[in-house]
Amino acid sequence: MFPIAFGFVAAAAFNAFAYAIYGSAALTEYSWVSMVSWGLIAGGLAVYALTRPMPAWACRLGCRASALFYRRLGLDHPGALCA
């Protein structure tokens, strides 16, 4: 949750600095300012999505899918962890 909050705070700080430097035109007319702001927010969301732990149901589903894949290839499934 911290990366999401950090992305929003960084975007708000960037918008404040852009407003202080360029004036109100930065927030309404300059497209690069909004692109950077949304990029900071999206970066926080991406870091959160990539680093959060996998739920147990997704882990079991992945284990079953890999077992099916190995069975179709005629190989022994290396992970007997799918209990």
pLDDT tens for each residue of 32-54: 999 999 999 999 999 998 888 76
DSSP state of 53: P
Other C-beta atoms closer than 10 Å to the C-beta of 80 total 8
pLDDT of 80 over the 60 cut:
no
Per-residue pLDDT for 82 more than 70?
no
Q: Quote the pLDDT of residue 11.
A: 96
DSSP 52: S
| Residue 11: half-sphere exposure toward Cβ, Cα within 13 Å | 20
What pLDDT is stored for residue 15 in this prediction? 93
Residue 78 backbone dihedrals phi, psi, to 5 degrees? -70, -20
CB 6 within 8 A of CB 44: yes
Q: What's the rounded mean pLDDT across residues 70-81?
A: 69
pLDDT single digits (tens) 54-72: 677 777 787 788 878 888 8
- Mean pLDDT along residues 21-34: 86
